[in-house]
Structure 1
Amino acid sequence: MHLDAFLGMYPYTARFTNAPGFQMHYVDEGPADGEVVLCLHGEPTWGFLFRHLIAALRGTHRVVAPDHMGFGKSETPPSRSYWLQDHIDNLESLVLALDLRDITLVMHDFGGPVGMGLASRYPDRVRRIVSVNGPTPFGQATLGERLTANAAVSPWFQWIVRAESEGRLEAVLGELGFNILSTLKLNGFEDHRLINDVWLQAYGARFATPADCAGAVGWAKGFAIGAHRFETPDSAARRAIGTKPAMAIWGMADRTLHAEHFLPLFSELFPDAPVHWLPGVGHYSFEDAPDAIANRIATFLAQT
C-alpha cells in the first residue's frame, strides 16, 4: 500500500496491535486520560473518514479510530472470514488490549452493528452511543423486514444481491482500487468538490489487488448470502444500554441506508434520544458535513 501521499490529510500516528490475531491499525489521539471516543467506520472506508472529527475532538478527548480487518492500514489475512461477527470479535480484542472504558461509540455504516455488538458484550465499558448514518441493530424482531425494505430501495443493496446471484460480486469489488469512485458515489456523497487525486488515493490505494479487497467483498457478500450475525444482548445488557445517553445524526440524502427504515431501530432502543436530520447530506455524511457533525457531537459530549 502506498498511503504516504495523503498523510497531509491524515496526519495521525499509525499504531498497530496484533491482539485480534492480525495486524490491526488504529490511531489514538488526544490526552491518554481523556474520555474515549471510539470511531467505527464502514464500507469501503477506514479511519480517514473521521479525520475532521479527530481534529475537532483530540484537544479534549482521547479519540481512537481503528481500521477493521481488510480496510485502511489493517492487514487482510487470507485465512479469515469477514462477516459481522468477525469484526465484532476483532473490535473486542482491541478494546480489551487497550483497556478502553467509558467509551463514546461513534458509528458509521456497518460500524453501527459492529459497535452495538461490542455494547452488547460489554455494556459496562460503553458510556454513550452516537449513530451517524450507522444502524443500531440488536437482532430485533423487526430487523429482517427493515433490511429487506431498505434493500428494495437502495441501489447498492440491489446491486449486491444481483451481482452475487450472477457470480460477479467478487470480480467487481475485487477491483476497488480502480472503481472506488463509482462505489463511493453509488452509496452516496453529495459534495463533489471533495474529488481530487489525493482523496481518491486515500480511499482507493488500500485495494490495490483482488486479495486486498477481501474485507470489502466480505461485507457485501455476507449480506447477500445471509452470513452476518447480529449480536443479541441478554435482558440485563439490553436494559443497561437503554439507559445510556444516545444521539442519532442522519444525512437525509443517504440512498443506501434510508432514514425511514433505520432510524426507527435507533428510537426503539433510545426512545428519548435526540435525532438530528441533515438535509442534502449523503451516506458518507462525515465527508459532506464534517463541521456540522463535529459540532453536534462536541455539544453532545459536553451536555452528557
Structure 2
Amino acid sequence: MTLATPPHLAVPARTVHRFVEVDDVAVFYRESQPERPDAPVVLLLHGFPSASHQFRRLIDTLGRRDRLIAPDYPGFGHTRTPGGFGYSFDRLADVVEGFIERLGLTRFAMYLFDFGAPIGFRLALRHPERVAGLIVQNGNAYVEGLSEAAREFTALTPDTPGAEQAVLDLFTVDATRAQYESGTTDPELVAPEGWLLDQHFLDLPGRKRAQRALAFDYQSNIAAYPGWQAWLREHRPPTLITWGSRDPFFPEPGALAYLSDLPDAELHLFDTGHFALEDHLPEIAPLIDSFLTRTWG
C-alpha cells in the first residue's frame, strides 16, 4: 500500500550514485531523478577540501524539480585515479569535460563554488554554448576577491622557504574544520559530518600529493582571471550570486566584483563563511529554484 504524503512534509529527491569512466579515471557522481524529463540541468562543482557530498542537502531539496549532477574531481571524494595521474586545474577540467560528454549533457547551468570556479570557467571558455547560466557561491574570479591570507598562500611556490609545511598544515583536521566554521555566526548549524568526511578523503593514500600539486597550481587560476572576466562580458550569462560575506579566503569584494562585468547579476550576501550552504540552505535553495524557473527555457 502506498501512503499519501502529508502536505506539510517536503519529499526529498530520489538520487542515484554512480561511476563513469573518463580516460582511466573512475568518476563518482550523484544525480537527482527529477519528475519531468525536461527539467533544468545543473552541474554542481564542489570545492576544496570537499566533494559532491557537500551538495547532498541541496540535491534533496531541489532534485525533484531539477536535474542536479555533482561529480567528484580526481583527487577528491570517491573518484579513483590511476597511478601517475598529473594533478592540475587544467587536468581536472579535462576530466570534468569528459564526464559531461559521457553523460551527453549539451546545456546546463553551473554551480561554481571555490575550486568549482576555475574548473567551471575553463569549461565555459571551451564550450560557451553549453552554459545556460551561472550560480556563483564563493567561487572567485577577481583579484579583489582574494583576502590578504589568500594572496600570501597562492603566491607560494615549491621553492618558497616554509611553503611545503604551510601547504601540509592546510590538510589537518583542525584546518578542515575551520574552513567550515570560520565566519559562521552560529557554528551549531554546521553539521560535523561534512568536515569529518572531507578529512577522511584527505587522509587516503595519495590524496595529500594531489592537493599539494593543486595548491601550487592555484597561481594558474589567478593568471586566468582576465580571460574569465572577458568571457563574462562577452556572453553575459544569467547569473545568481549567493556569497558568504565573512569568508576568510574569498571575502565579500569577490562577490561585488562580478557586477563590474555582469551588472544584471542577482546578488545576495549572507552573514556566514565559506560553506554558506551548510547554515543558509533554507535561504539559498529558494533563490536557486526561482533563478532556474526564470532563466531556463
TM tier relative to shorter chain: 0.7 to 0.9
Q: Shift of the alpha carbon at 1:299?
A: 1.0
Residue 22 (structure 1) aligns with:
25
State how far apart, in whole Å, the 2-side matches of 1:30 and 1:71 are: 24
Q: Shift of the alpha carbon at 1:162?
A: 6.4
Where does 1:239-278 land on structure 2 (aligned, <5 Å)?
241-242=235-236, 244-264=237-257, 266-278=258-270
Residue 5 (structure 1) aligns with:
none
State how far apart, in whole Å, the 2-side matches of 1:248 and 1:30 are: 25
1:73-121 CA-partner distances (Å, limit 9, x unpaired): 1124442232221221111111111111220111111211211211111
Contact 1:52–1:294 (Cα < 8 Å) also in 2: no
Tell me: CA distance 1:205–1:125, structure 2 relative to 1, closer, same or farther (3 Å): same
State how far apart, in whole Å, the 1-side matches of 2:26 and 2:118 are: 22
Secondary structure, aligned partner of 1:299: helix
The one-letter code matched in structure 1 to 2:62 is L
The one-letter code matched in structure 2 to 1:270 is L
Residue 172 (structure 1) aligns with:
169
- RMSD across aligned positions (CA): 3.0
1:212 to 200, 207, 215: 207
Q: How many residues align?
A: 277
1:94 to 80, 96, 99: 99
Contact 2:179–2:274 (Cα < 8 Å) also in 1: no
Query: Quick one: percent identity of the two aligned structures?
Result: 25
Where does 1:119-138 land on structure 2 (aligned, <5 Å)?
119-135=124-140, 137=141
Q: Shift of the alpha carbon at 1:216?
A: 2.9
State how far apart, in whole Å, the 2-side matches of 1:107 and 1:21 are: 25
Residue 140 (structure 1) aligns with:
none
Where does 1:18-167 land on structure 2 (aligned, <5 Å)?
18-31=21-34, 33-135=38-140, 137=141, 143=142, 145-146=143-144, 150-152=146-148, 154=149, 158-159=152-153, 161=155, 165=160, 166=162, 167=164
State how far apart, in whole Å, the 2-side matches of 1:276 and 1:190 are: 17
Provide the TM-score with structure 1 as the length reference.
Answer: 0.79
Contact 1:146–1:262 (Cα < 8 Å) also in 2: no
Residue 302 (structure 1) aligns with:
293
State how far apart, in whole Å, the 1-side matches of 2:291 and 2:229 are: 28
The one-letter code matched in structure 1 to 2:73 is H
State how far apart, in whole Å, the 2-side matches of 1:95 and 1:179 are: 32
1:1-53 CA-partner distances (Å, limit 9, x unpaired): xxxxxxxxx98432111114311111111235422111111111111111121
Contact 2:167–2:215 (Cα < 8 Å) also in 1: no
What 5-or-longer segments of structure 1 have no aligned partner?
1-9, 138-142
Contact 1:76–1:215 (Cα < 8 Å) also in 2: no
The one-letter code matched in structure 2 to 1:133 is N
State how far apart, in whole Å, the 2-side matches of 1:199 and 1:160 are: 25
State how far apart, in whole Å, the 2-side matches of 1:54 and 1:294 are: 10
**Bigger CA radius of gyration:** 2
Q: Shift of the alpha carbon at 1:283?
A: 1.0
State how far apart, in whole Å, the 2-side matches of 1:58 and 1:157 are: 37
Q: Shift of the alpha carbon at 1:128?
A: 1.1
What 5-or-longer segments of structure 2 have no aligned partner?
1-12
Tell me: CA distance 1:301–1:192, structure 2 relative to 1, closer, same or farther (3 Å): same
Secondary structure, aligned partner of 1:18: strand
